[in-house]
C-alpha cells in the first residue's frame, strides 16, 4: 500500500481546521473494539437493552408514512416531535412550549450551532474544568478563548466563575457564554447543587451572558432527588425564557443512533440557530423523528428509562466497589448519583495519557483526563465509563487498571521528575483563558 500523505493539502487548509483535533475516544475506537479489551473508555449508552422486537414495532409502525419519513422536513423539526420534547422536558420539571423548542441532529449539533451563532474568533467562554471534550471540539472551530472554572463535589464553583469573569473584563475579553453540564457531568460525574444553579444565573445576569445548559444525563438518576434545571429556575424567577439556552437529547433516554437532540431557547436565539442549521444540514432526519415519535407515543418510555437507570446503577455500584477494593489509597474518584461516568484522580506525578498504552496492553482502556481541558491540564485524571460493560467485566477491568496504576506508582521516583511539571494544580480560584484550539 502506498504511504498516505496526510499533509498533502496543508497549504490549502483553513487556520480553523489546522487547530482542530479529533477526540481521544474517537481515535481509540478501533483499538477498543479489539476482542478481549475491557473498554471503560467509551461514552456509550447500552443500546443492547432495546431489543429487536421493540425496534421492529417502531419501524413497522412508521411504514405507512414511508413517504414522509423519506422526505425533507422543516428545519426546526416536525411538529409531533416537538410535542414529545415538551413532554420529556416536563417530566424533568422544566416547563416548555412547542414554539421554544428546536430539533437538532444530536445535542452535539446544538453545541456547534450555539458556537456558530455566538462566537467570533477571540471571544471568550467559561466551561467547567474538566468539561465535555465534544463541546471543546465543537467550540474550537470558532477559535474562542476558553477558561475552565474549577469544580468541587457540588459542581462549578461560583466564586471562581465570578473572579474569572472579572479578570476577563480587565483583559478586555468579550465573554459570550458559560457552558455547564449540570447533571452527572461528563466527564466528572459531578452534579451542580441547586444553590449554585441560582448563583450561576445571577452571575450571568450580572455580566450579561448566556448560560448554555447541556443536560443529556438528567433523567439517568440512580439516587437522590432530581434538581431543577437552570431553564426551569430562570422561568420560575423571570417568568420567561431568556438567557438560558438548554440542550437536550434522545441519545441517553432512547438511542444515540437516531442522532436527535434539541435546543430550548428564547425566540431570537432560535431564529439565529435556524439560519445556522440551514447551512449545516437543512433539517434533521424525518425518519429518526418519526421513529422517536412512534416509540414515545406507543411505548412506555418512562419504563424504558427506568430499566436503563437500574442497569447503569448496578454497573456504577460495581465500579465504585471495585475501585474501593483494588485501587491504591492515593487514588481518588467521584461518586456520581447518575449518568455514565466516574472521574478518577491519580497522584499528581502520574500521567494518565502516558499510562494508557500500558493499560491497553493489559486489556483495559479509559480516557485520559487531558482531552477534557483546553490547554493541557488534567494529565493525572482518567474518565471511567460504567454504562456499557457488564458488572463482572467492570470489576475485572478495574482490577487490571489498579495493577497498572500500582506499577506506575512503584516507578514514582523515575516519573516524578518528568511528570510533575505538567500536573494540574487543584486551584479553586479564577482560571486563565486558553486558546480553544488546544483542546
Ligand X SMILES: Cc1ncc(COP(=O)(O)O)c(C=O)c1O
Q: What are phi and psi of 372, to 5 degrees?
A: -100, 10
Q: How far is the CB of 105 from ligand X (least distance, A)?
A: 8
249 binds ligand X (CB under 6 A): yes
Using CB under 6 A, which of the segments 170-178, 222-230, 248-256, 414-422 binds ligand X?
248-256
- Output 95 or 257, the one with its CB closest to ligand X: 257
Is 258 an interacting residue with respect to ligand X (CB under 6 A)? no
Binding status of residue 341 toward ligand X by CB under 6 A: no
**Contacting ligand X within 127-186 (CB under 6 A):** 132, 134, 181, 186
Nearest to 232 by CA among 270, 264, 271: 264
- Of 107 and 141, nearer to ligand X (C-beta) is 107
- Residue 368 engages ligand X in binding (rule: CB under 6 A): no
Query: DSSP 3-state assignment of 333?
Result: strand
Q: How many residues bind ligand X (CB under 6 A)?
A: 14
CA distance 288 to 262: 13
Q: Quick check: bond before 32 cis, omega within 30? A: no
Q: Can you read off the three cell numbers belonging to residue 289? A: 423523528
Looking at 84-92, 105-113, 307-315, 362-370, which segment touches ligand X (CB under 6 A)? 105-113
Pick from 67, 97, 48, 14: nearest CA to 270: 97
Binding flags for ligand X, 204-223, as an x/- string (CB under 6 A): ----------x-x-------
Candidates 106, 130, 155, 369: give the one binding ligand X (CB under 6 A). Answer: 106
Nearer to ligand X, 215 or 380 (CB): 215
In the complex with ligand X, which residue's Cβ is closer, 286 or 430? Answer: 286
Smallest gap from residue 384 Cβ to ligand X (A):
14
What whole-number distance in Å separates Cα of residue 235 and Cα of residue 238?
5
Residue sitting closest to ligand X (CB) = 106
Give the residue among 354, 410, 349, 359 at the shortest CA–CA distance from 384: 359
Q: Does 42 bind ligand X (CB under 6 A)?
A: no
Q: Identify which range of 104-112, 201-209, 315-323, 326-334 contacts ligand X by CB under 6 A.
A: 104-112
8 A C-beta contact, residue 312 and residue 253: no
Q: Is 94 in the site for ligand X (CB under 6 A)?
A: no
Residues 115-134 binding ligand X (CB under 6 A) are 132, 134
Task: Report how far residue 78's alpha carbon sits from residue 271's, in angstroms, rounded to the nearest whole number.
Answer: 16
420 contacts: CB under 8 Å, gap ≥ 6: 348, 349
Nearer to ligand X, 184 or 349 (CB): 184
Answer for which of 191, 235, 251, 380 binds ligand X (CB under 6 A) is: 251
- Of 73, 150, 158, 261, which one interacts with ligand X (CB under 6 A)? 261
**Distance from C-alpha of 387 to C-alpha of 375, rounded to nearest angstrom:** 29
Nearest in space to 224 (alpha carbons), one of 248, 200, 190: 190
With cell 487498571, the residue in question is 401
Task: Tell me how far, at minimum, the Cβ of 32 lies from ligand X, in Å.
Answer: 15
25 counts as binding ligand X under rule CB under 6 A: no
Which grid cell sits at 229? Answer: 434545571
Question: Any idea what DSSP says for residue 22?
Answer: -
R_g of the chain computed on alpha carbons:
22
Interface pick for ligand X out of 107, 136, 204, 434 (rule CB under 6 A): 107
Which of 100-108, 195-203, 384-392, 422-430 is the region at the interface with ligand X (rule: CB under 6 A)? 100-108
Name the grid cell of 57: 414495532
Q: Which residues, at least 6 apart from 331, have a Cβ–Cβ distance to it below 8 Å?
A: 323, 344, 345, 346, 347, 405
Question: How long is the chain?
Answer: 439
Q: Where on the chain is the footprint of ligand X (CB under 6 A)?
A: 43, 106-108, 132, 134, 181, 186, 214, 216, 249, 251, 256, 261
Amino acid at each position: 500500500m502506498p504511504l498516505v500523505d496526510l499533509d498533502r493539502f496543508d497549504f490549502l487548509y483553513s487556520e480553523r481546521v489546522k487547530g482542530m483535533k479529533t477526540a481521544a475516544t474517537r481515535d481509540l475506537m478501533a483499538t477498543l473494539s479489539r476482542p478481549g479489551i475491557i473498554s471503560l473508555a467509551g461514552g456509550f449508552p447500552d443500546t443492547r437493552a432495546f431489543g429487536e422486537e421493540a425496534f421492529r414495532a417502531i419501524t413497522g409502525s412508521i411504514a405507512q408514512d414511508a413517504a414522509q419519513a423519506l422526505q425533507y422536513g422543516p428545519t426546526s423539526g416536525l411538529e409531533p416531535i416537538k410535542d414529545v420534547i415538551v413532554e420529556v422536558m416536563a417530566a424533568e420539571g422544566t416547563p416548555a412550549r412547542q414554539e421554544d423548542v428546536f430539533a437538532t441532529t444530536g445535542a452535539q449539533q446544538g453545541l456547534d450551532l450555539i458556537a456558530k451563532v455566538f462566537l467570533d474568533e477571540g471571544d471568550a467562554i467559561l466551561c467547567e474544568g474538566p468539561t465535555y471534550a465534544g463541546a471543546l471540539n465543537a467550540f474550537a472551530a470558532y477559535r474562542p478563548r476558553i477558561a475552565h472554572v474549577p469544580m468541587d463535589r457540588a459542581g462549578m464553583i461560583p466564586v471562581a466563575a465570578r473572579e474569572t469573569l472579572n479578570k476577563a473584563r480587565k483583559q478586555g475579553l468579550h465573554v459570550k457564554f458559560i457552558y455547564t453540564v449540570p447533571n452527572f457531568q461528563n466527564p466528572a460525574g459531578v452534579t451542580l447543587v441547586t444553590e449554585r444553579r441560582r448563583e450561576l444565573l445571577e452571575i450571568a445576569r450580572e455580566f450579561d451572558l448566556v448560560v448554555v445548559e447541556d443536560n443529556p444525563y438528567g433523567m439517568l438518576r440512580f439516587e437522590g432527588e432530581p434538581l431543577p434545571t437552570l431553564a426551569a429556575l430562570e422561568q420560575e424567577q423571570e417568568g420567561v425564557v431568556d438567557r438560558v439556552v438548554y440542550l437536550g437529547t434522545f441519545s441517553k433516554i432512547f438511542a444515540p443512533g437516531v442522532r436527535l437532540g434539541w435546543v430550548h431557547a428564547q425566540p431570537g436565539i432560535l431564529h439565529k440557530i435556524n439560519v445556522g442549521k440551514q447551512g449545516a444540514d437543512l433539517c434533521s432526519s424525518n425518519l429518526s423523528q418519526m421513529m422517536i415519535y412512534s416509540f414515545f407515543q406507543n411505548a412506555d418510555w418512562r419504563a424504558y428509562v427506568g430499566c436503563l437507570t437500574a442497569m447503569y446503577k448496578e454497573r456504577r455500584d460495581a465500579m465504585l466497589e471495585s475501585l474501593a477494593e483494588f485501587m491504591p489509597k492515593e487514588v481518588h474518584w467521584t461518586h456520581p448519583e447518575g449518568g455514565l461516568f466516574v472521574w478518577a484522580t491519580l497522584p499528581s506525578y502520574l500521567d494518565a495519557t502516558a499510562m494508557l498504552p500500558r493499560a491497553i496492553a493489559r486489556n483495559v482502556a479509559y480516557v485520559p483526563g487531558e482531552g477534557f481541558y483546553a490547554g493541557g491540564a488534567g494529565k493525572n485524571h482518567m474518565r471511567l465509563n460504567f454504562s456499557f460493560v457488564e458488572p463482572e467485566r467492570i470489576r475485572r477491568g478495574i482490577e487490571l487498571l489498579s495493577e497498572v496504576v500500582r506499577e506506575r506508582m512503584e516507578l514514582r521516583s523515575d516519573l516524578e521528575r518528568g511528570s510533575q511539571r505538567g500536573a494540574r494544580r487543584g486551584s479553586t480560584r479564577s482560571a486563565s483563558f486558553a486558546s480553544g484550539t488546544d483542546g
